[in-house]
A and B are shown apart, each in its own frame.
Chain A
Amino acid sequence: DTGVSQDPRHKITKRGQNVTFRCDPISEHNRLYWYRQTLGQGPEFLTYFQNEAQLEKSRLLSDRFSAERPKGSFSTLEIQRTEQGDSAMYLCASSLEWDKDFYEQYFGPGTRLTVT
C-alpha cells in the first residue's frame, strides 16, 4: 500500500493557461475525492467519484474545472483559463466503501498551484 499520490507537487502557471493535475488513489479504493485548500482555511470539497462515475460536484467547481476518472483508477483535474483566485492547494483523497455509511478517507500530499 503506497498511499495516495499526486502529480505534480507544485505548479506555477500564468493566468489564462490550462493546467492538469493527476491523482492515483490507494489501489482497490473505489471512491476518489478532490478538495481545495486556501491559506488559513480547511479543505473544501470539489467533487467525488465512485468508480468511474462522478457523483457530486460542488458549486465551487465552475465550468472552467473538469474532472475525470477513466476506468475507475486514477483521476485528473483540469483547470482551463486559470485565474489568480485558483491559486490553492489541491488535495486528492480516496476511500474504500466497506459499508454504505462508514468510510475513512486518506489524503495525498497535494498539488500546490500558483497562478501569476
Chain B
Amino acid sequence: GIQVEQSPPDLILQEGANSTLRCNFSDSVNNLQWFHQNPWGQLINLFYIPSGTKQNGRLSATTVATERYSLLYISSSQTTDSGVYFCAVSPGGANSKLTFGKGITLSVRP
C-alpha cells in the first residue's frame, strides 16, 4: 500500500515564526488532505489539495503530485496552532480509504 512520510516529526517555534511541514507519499494519489488534530482528538480539515496551491489566512499548502510531495506553510504562528498535523492520501476510485502519516507535533511557545 501507499506509504506516507511526514517531516519533521517534532517542531518547536516561537510565536510569530514561520514553518514548513512536509509530506512525501510513495504512489500516485487523487486525494490529499491536511488535518490539524486538536487536544480533544478531533481532526480538523485544513486543506483538500490533491494538486496545486491553496491559501486560507495564515495557512497555505502546495502539492506537487508529479513529484509526490505536499507542503503545509504556517506563517506568523500562534500558540493556538500547537497540536498534531496529519497528511493523508488515497488513490481514489474504489480505493478511497485514507492512509495517514505519523503526524508532526508542533509546539508554539509564547
Complex interface: chain A residues within 8 A of B96 (CB): 31, 33, 48, 95, 97, 103
A: interface residue count bin: 20 to 34
Complex interface: chain B residues within 8 A of A35 (CB): 98
Complex interface: chain A residues within 8 A of B100 (CB): 42-44
Known: A101-B30, A104-B48. A42 touches B97 (CB 8 A): no
B: interface residue count bin: 20 to 34
- Whether A42 pairs with B30 at a CB distance below 8 angstroms is no
- The answer for the CA separation of A108 and B102 in the assembled complex, in Å, is 19
Chain B proximity of A99: nearest CB distance (Å): 8
A56 at interface by CB-CB < 8 Å: yes
Q: Would you give the 0/1 interface string for B18-37, flagging 1 where the beta carbon is closer than 8 Å to chain A?
A: 00000000000011010100
B52 at interface by CB-CB < 8 Å: no
